[in-house]
Amino acid sequence: MSNTDLSNIEVNQKPVAKRSNPFANVFNELVSFCRSRSMFMLHYCTGCGAIELPPAMTSRFDMERLGIQPMVTPRQADILLITGYVSIKTLKRVILTYEQMGAPKYVIGICSCTVNGGMYWQSYATAKKLDEYIPVDLYIAGCMPRPEAVIEGLQQLMAKIKTDEANSWKKYYEHYDYYLGNQQHLFGNNWQTPTDIIGEAKTYQLEGPNTLGEHTKILESVQRPLEPLEMKL
Amino acid sequence: MSAAHSQNLNVLLQEIEGIHLTHHNPRRLRADIAAEALPALLALLRGRASYVHLSAISCVDWIEENQFELVYHLWSYETSVLISAHIRIPREPGIYLSVFDIYTPAAFFERDIHEMFGVYFEGSPDMSKFILTEWNGPPPMRKDFNSEKWVMETFSWQEYHPDWLKDLEEQGGGIVSTPESIRMDNK
Ligand code: SF4
């Protein structure tokens, strides 16, 4: 496991030059506001916590009044909800899903199990800290959290998006080496995903000093080009 | 009706050499037999009695006795009786015969036991990885696999000390045994 602890590292924000024109940031603020008000949520129902989502989504607590709707595909979703324990096998799929989502993307870890493994802390099969493998914007602890807590958490996320603080997705690009290292630690050095994160980091201009490192070197040495799946009838 | 059935069944079962029957109650029967006699018992129960359902095979690791215990749970829809057939096999090398030819669902249970305990079933159709496809360590349900130690070596933990807990601690309350103290015992 890599030694650096990322929980306290802030994302390097490019210093924004203070501008005297009061309308200069209006457009950005409008974008952030709209973003926080129309969120599509991919709920990856990994554990028992998913059972609190139907009441949160349907008429009793009604997420849609906040502008949050379920979405069926990762490519069209903004929020990835991880609703409970992630086994190592599931974690692979979670990472694949996360990488396919278009930025900006937000991750919420619901349930104590995503914080520290919860009641499965001594299980060989479940991953413990979710934010070692993908960056997490917000945790909602509880076993399991009630729909009120889920809604409260989503509202906090909205507030963070509105003020441009929910930047964990940038962290994934800027510290890709760290996340990749932890993933390799669990899945072995042959681990690779179909998404070219390093290329994306360059495109988004988010490549930092920690994007590349020893772990990405391993990735480069084992990376095979993607092959089309065999078609069978 | 079911009493009469079990009478006949008892006569039938005496054909198996060295069988030891225990009646827990009218609908539960425990049969302890030698490992060599198990296929004959299963063939008899399936072919001449009505035990068509193998509902599970379970495995117990008796590490002190250096043995694995395999339990075959058989159910009859006609008499509503559950028979569990217990056998013991040596822990090393941990090889036993597959009963796939008598009960096809056995393939599924045997593959699972192979993965969790490392018992190899000769003649089972597929002994490849099943659920733990990402797992390369020793079979995790064996008693000599220390799950906690493995976890301590593989994962790290994050601080979890919420504000409401601090309030409680100020009043003299709080968590009595912290997760850290429990985990440290096994470090
Ligand atoms: S925190 Fe509790 S409810 Fe949530 S996934 Fe873990 S065990 Fe299930």
Name which of B132, B157, B162 is nearest A116 (Cβ-Cβ): B157
A19 lies in a domain?
A: no
CA angle B1, B7, B9 (to 5 degrees): 105
Q: Ligand 1, closest atom to CA A85? A: 5
pLDDT tens digits, A132-173: 999 999 999 888 899 999 999 999 999 999 888 888 899 999
Q: Which of A45, A112, A129 to mutate to test the pocket of ligand 1 (most atoms within 8 A of CB)?
A: A112
Q: Are residues A182 and A140 in the same domain?
A: no
Tokens read off for A202: 């360059």
Residue A13 has pLDDT above 60, yes or no: no
CA–centroid distance, residue B178 to ligand 1 (Å):
19
Cβ-defined contacts of A196-202 (< 8 Å, 24+) = A197/A99, A197/A172, A197/A173, A200/A173, A201/A173, A201/A174, A201/A176
A227 lies in a domain?
A: no
A52 lies in a domain?
A: yes
Tokens read off for A187: 């899945």
Q: Is the Cβ of A128 closer than 8 Å to some Cβ of chain B? A: yes
Q: Which of A48, A83, A90 to mutate to test the pocket of ligand 1 (most atoms within 8 A of CB)?
A: A48
Q: Are residues A174 and A159 in the same domain?
A: no
Q: Are residues A189 and A218 in the same domain?
A: yes
For an interface test with B, the pick among A5, A86, A119, A124 (most B C-beta atoms closer than 10 Å) comes out as: A124
Domain boundary among A165, A180, A208: A165
Q: Are residues A38 and A139 in the same domain?
A: yes
Q: Diameter of chain A by CA atoms?
A: 65
3-state secondary structure chain B: CHHHHHHHHHHHHCCCCCCEEEEEECCEEEEECCHHHHHHHHHHHHHCCCCCEEEEEEEEEECCCCEEEEEEEEECCCCCCEEEEEEEEECCCCEEECCCCCCCCHHHHHHHHHHHHCCEEECCCCCCCCCCCCCCCCCCCCCCCCHHHHHHHHCCCCCCCCHHHHHHHHCCCCCCCCHHHHHHCCC
Domain boundary among A143, A165, A187: A165
- In order along its 187 residues, chain B shows pLDDT tens digits of 455 556 778 888 888 888 998 888 888 999 999 999 999 999 999 988 889 999 999 999 999 999 999 999 999 998 889 999 999 999 988 999 999 999 999 999 999 999 999 999 999 999 998 888 888 889 999 999 988 888 888 888 887 777 878 888 888 887 777 767 777 655 5
Q: Is the Cβ of A1 closer than 8 Å to some Cβ of chain B? A: yes
Give B121→chain A minimum CA distance, Å.
24
Cβ <8 Å between B154 and A185: yes
Q: Are residues A58 and A144 in the same domain?
A: yes
A150 lies in a domain?
A: yes
pLDDT tens digits, A17-58: 566 777 777 888 888 888 888 889 988 888 888 888 889 888
Residue A8 has pLDDT above 70, yes or no: no
Find chain A residues with C-beta within 8 A of B154's C-beta. 1, 185-186
Tokens read off for B179: 């997760």
Cβ <8 Å between A124 and B134: no
Residue A210 has pLDDT above 80, yes or no: yes
Distance CA A105, CA A97 (A): 11
Residue A2 has pLDDT above 50, yes or no: no
Q: Are residues A172 and A159 in the same domain?
A: no
Contact A86, A74 (CB under 8 A): no
Helix (H) or strand (E) holding A216: helix A214-222
pLDDT band at A16 (very low <50, low <70, confident <90, very high): low
Nearest protein Cα to ligand 1, atom 5: A84
Tokens read off for B120: 């190899």
Tokens read off for B136: 């390369």
Cβ–ligand 1 distance for A147 under 6 Å, the answer no
Residue B127 burial (10 A CB sphere; 0-12, 13-18, 19+): middle
Q: Is the Cβ of A28 closer than 8 Å to some Cβ of chain B? A: no
Q: Are residues A81 and A172 in the same domain?
A: no
A21 lies in a domain?
A: no
The pLDDT of residue A17 is 57
Listed in order, strand segments (DSSP E) in chain A are 39-44, 68-70, 79-83, 106-110, 138-140
State the first-to-last Cα distance of chain A, in angstroms, to the nearest integer: 43
Q: pLDDT higher for A162 or A15? A: A162
pTM of the model as a whole: 0.83
Name residue, tokens 């790290």: B156
Q: What ipTM does the predicted assembly reach? A: 0.79
Helix (H) or strand (E) holding A169: helix A168-174
Q: Which of A65, A133, A69, A77 is nearest to A104 (CA)?
A: A77
Name which of A115, A122, A127 is nearest B160 (Cβ-Cβ): A115
Find the domain containing A93 and state its range.
34-165
Cβ <8 Å between B151 and A185: no
A2 lies in a domain?
A: no
A88-100 vs A176-187: helix axis angle to the nearest 10? 150
Residue A76 has pLDDT above 50, yes or no: yes
Q: How many domains does chain A have?
A: 2
Q: Please name each of the domains of chain B with its CATH number.
A: 3-135 (3.30.460.80)
Across the A:B interface, residue pairs with CB atoms under 8 Å apart total: 55
Distance CA B3, CA B25 (A): 11
Q: Which residues contact A83 (CB under 8 A, 6 or more apart)?
A: A43, A44, A45, A46, A47, A49, A50, A52, A53, A110, A111
Domain boundary among A165, A187, A205: A165
Q: Are residues A110 and A138 in the same domain?
A: yes
A138 lies in a domain?
A: yes
Q: Are residues A109 and A143 in the same domain?
A: yes
Q: Which of A155, A57, A40 is nearest to A104 (CA)?
A: A40
Q: Are residues A188 and A92 in the same domain?
A: no
Q: Are residues A147 and A192 in the same domain?
A: no
CA distances from A201 to A5, A137, A176, A181, A205 (A): 21, 19, 9, 17, 6
Name which of B133, B134, B160 is nearest A116 (Cβ-Cβ): B160
The pLDDT of residue A118 is 85
* Residue B61, beta-bridge partner list: B68
pLDDT tens digits, A179-207: 999 999 998 888 888 888 999 999 988 88
Q: Which amino acid is at B109?
A: F
Q: Are residues A151 and A205 in the same domain?
A: no
